[in-house]
Amino acid sequence: MPGPISATTPDWHDLAWGAVLALTGLAVAGYAALHYEFGTLRRMGPGFFPVVLGLGLAGLGLLIAIPARNRPGQVRPFAWAQAVGVIGSLLVFGLLLDRIGLMASTVLCVAISSAVAPRGGFLWRAVLTVAVTALVWLLFVAGLNLSIPVWPWSR
């Protein structure tokens, strides 16, 4: 939901992202120019497309950033806690799955991701964790027989 327009701030979102995209474009073009053959128009090398695209992205990044300097921006809320919880639960699942197995990583993943819900209380989180873990076992282990380490000792 866009917030109220404030007349004093620059459009920070566009300013920052415009700069990031411009730098990304330059980095892509530079890296491709150094590492891959550019070729000719008739016989394009593997570097041609990335160099042209990188320069294009750099130009577009500037087009986004420059007008944003003195344009009032919208205040857009960023759900920090929710973003950290969701991304963190995926990282935990991805990094630990091979080590502690499906059941334990599912428990951790649900516990971490439900911790950032805007409603307090411990009981519903515990019930949800058990329910999702049971569902995962039913669907993916009993049902689909996915080849995946299920328990910490079943590697």
114 binds other proteins (CB under 8 A): yes
Crossing angle of the two packed helices 12-35 and 48-68, in degrees rounded to 10: 160
Tokens at 153, concatenated: 């000792």
Number of residues that bind other proteins (CB under 8 A): 66
Q: Out of 64, 100, 101, 103, which residue is the one contacting other proteins (CB under 8 A)?
A: 64
Count CB-CB contacts under 10 A for residue 140: 15
Q: Mask 67-106, x = binds other proteins (CB under 8 A)? A: ---------xxxx--xx--xx-xxx-xxx-xx-------x
In the complex, the smallest distance separating the C-beta of residue 110 from other proteins, rounded to whole angstroms, is: 4
Altogether, the residues listed in the chain come to a count of: 155
In terms of DSSP bridges, do strands 72-74 and 5-10 run parallel, antiparallel, or are they unpaired?
antiparallel
> Pick from 91, 115, 88, 93: which is nearest to 106 by CA?
93
Backbone angles phi, psi at 10, to 5 degrees: -70, 165
**Residues binding other proteins (CB under 8 A):** 1, 13-14, 16-17, 21, 24-25, 28, 31-32, 36-37, 40-46, 49-50, 53-54, 56-57, 60-61, 63-64, 76-79, 82-83, 86-87, 89-91, 93-95, 97-98, 106, 109-110, 113-114, 116-119, 124, 128-129, 132, 135-136, 140, 144, 146-148
